[in-house]
Amino acid sequence: MILDQALGRPRASMSETELSWEQVQAWFQRVFFSGDELTPGQTNAERLSPVAAAHRILTNSFGLIPFGLFKKEGDARVPVSDEYLDQMLKVRPNDYMSPFMLRKVVMSNAFWHGFGAVWNRRDGAGHIIGRIPLPTECCSIRKDQKTGIYWYDYNVEGERKSFAQSELSFLFFETYDGIRGRGLLALAREAIAVDAMAQRFGKKFYQNGARISGIVEIGTDAKSETRQRVKDEFKAYASDDAFAVAVLDHGMKFTPIGLNQKDSQFIETRDFTVEEISRFTGVPKHMLQTGKESYNSNAQQRLNYVTDTLLPYVVQWESEDSYKILSKVQRAGGLYVHGNVEALLRADPTTRADFYVKLIEHSVMNPDDARAKEELDPIPGGLGKRFLVTKALGSLESVLKGEDGNA
């Protein structure tokens, strides 16, 4: 649409050609940005507000989820304590960062570059003594043709170290083989570049006093010296302040060929980018601070964000850590790592209540389990320990006595 408006309808003598992305990008650079390079790299992308907001929300959300060690005892799931693992999961995974910051950094690497990796450093006895997030942009992946093992080579400030998959815990933003990742910079390349173009166009537009480029028509065939003089005069006009006035000689006509803010649908273009980033990242539009949805709609979207967007990352991290930081003996004994996504719902009482009701209705938890998560005492007499299978919840007493036909 922008190209059509700028170039107009093709004349009969002109042939239509399909432009590649590189050609379109070069055209935008030539018309709007005076040849400035436009690459959707991390530095450029993080300057775009919807991308920065999505990055902040996802990394902080993942960092806020507490992970702990649990054990299966029959049908029960009970928290357990381990000297080394508690230090790594709850206190200090390394000398430089908290568990929150480690998870935030891992998600940040995954967001930009496709995957984040943590080196699970062990002592001679096999105990985890440190967890160190590694910079994905410094990583190259190679396959040992003899053993079939993939190695991850990291080169950081001249220091090179190679890790086998078994030494690292991985979090993938997107992957098609479980080995390499695809981050936002790769998946949303065009969307990021277009928004960068729109943002920089807006900057240039207002820096130029909202003036646009055009063609000066001269009534007679002019010599090259005359053409150059007119061109130089208009360049001087364009570099003056926003209120400068151009004076045309008799017989000259100015025809604009640029785009104004309305014609280019500047605002709509940027709003569409927000929708695109929302689709790519799974972060609802209202969390990117553009939506006009109602409170109830926002609450439902937040619940969907936790269950549909964050939960897959949590399950992925639980699986990685349960296998990578626990020994065979610990796994055989029923130990596993679990992340509590309910921590993200505590700020919204309505959503949290709906969440508990659904879990109780489907016997995922009993009323006392829900009360414990709210730091409330159990229901007296043990009534809250029974699981309820009912759609229309009556009183606990009537349900337990069999007086409710839905029980």
Q: Mind listing the pLDDT tens digit for each residue in 242-264? A: 445 555 555 566 666 555 545 45
- Write the CA distances from 124 to 56, 127, 167, 324, integer angstroms: 38, 8, 14, 16
In a domain, 297, yes or no: no
In a domain, 221, yes or no: yes
Neighbouring CB atoms inside 10 A of 355's CB total 19
Contact 275, 48 (CB under 8 A): no
Position with higher pLDDT, 95 vs 260? 95
Residue 390 has a pLDDT of 57
Q: pLDDT tier at 36 (50, 70, 90 boundaries)? A: very low
Residue 112 has a pLDDT of 94
Last residue of a domain, one of 202, 231, 256: 256
- Which residues are within 8 A (CB) of 96 and not within 5 positions of it... i.e. 6 or more apart? none
Position with higher pLDDT, 62 vs 214? 62
In a domain, 131, yes or no: no
Quick one: tokens of 140?
């190259």
Instruction: State which of 28-32, 143-147, 247-251 shows the largest mean pLDDT.
Output: 143-147
CA proximity to 170, closest of 121, 127, 111, 106 = 106
Residue 325 clears pLDDT 90, i.e. is over it: yes
In a domain, 388, yes or no: yes
In a domain, 17, yes or no: no
In a domain, 230, yes or no: yes
- The DSSP output letter for 122 is E
Average pLDDT, the chain: 76
3-state secondary structure of 238: helix
Into how many domains does the chain fold? 2
pLDDT digits (tens, 9 = 90+) for 66-81: 999 999 887 677 889 9
Last residue of a domain, one of 199, 226, 256: 256
Last residue of a domain, one of 194, 227, 256: 256
Q: pLDDT tier at 309 (50, 70, 90 boundaries)? A: very high
Domain residues for the domain of 236 are: 214-256
Q: pLDDT tier at 221 (50, 70, 90 boundaries)? A: low
Position with higher pLDDT, 251 vs 104? 104
Residue 369 clears pLDDT 70, i.e. is over it: yes
- Write the CA distances from 323 to 13, 83, 162, 306, 336, integer angstroms: 67, 18, 20, 24, 8
Contact 386, 400 (CB under 8 A): yes
Residue 164 clears pLDDT 90, i.e. is over it: yes
Contact 366, 382 (CB under 8 A): no
> What are the backbone dihedrals phi and psi of residue 340, each rounded to the nearest 5 degrees, phi first?
-100, 95
Residue 322 has a pLDDT of 95
Position with higher pLDDT, 260 vs 366? 366
Residue 73 pairs with which residues in a beta bridge? 76
Mean pLDDT over 162-184 rounds to: 94
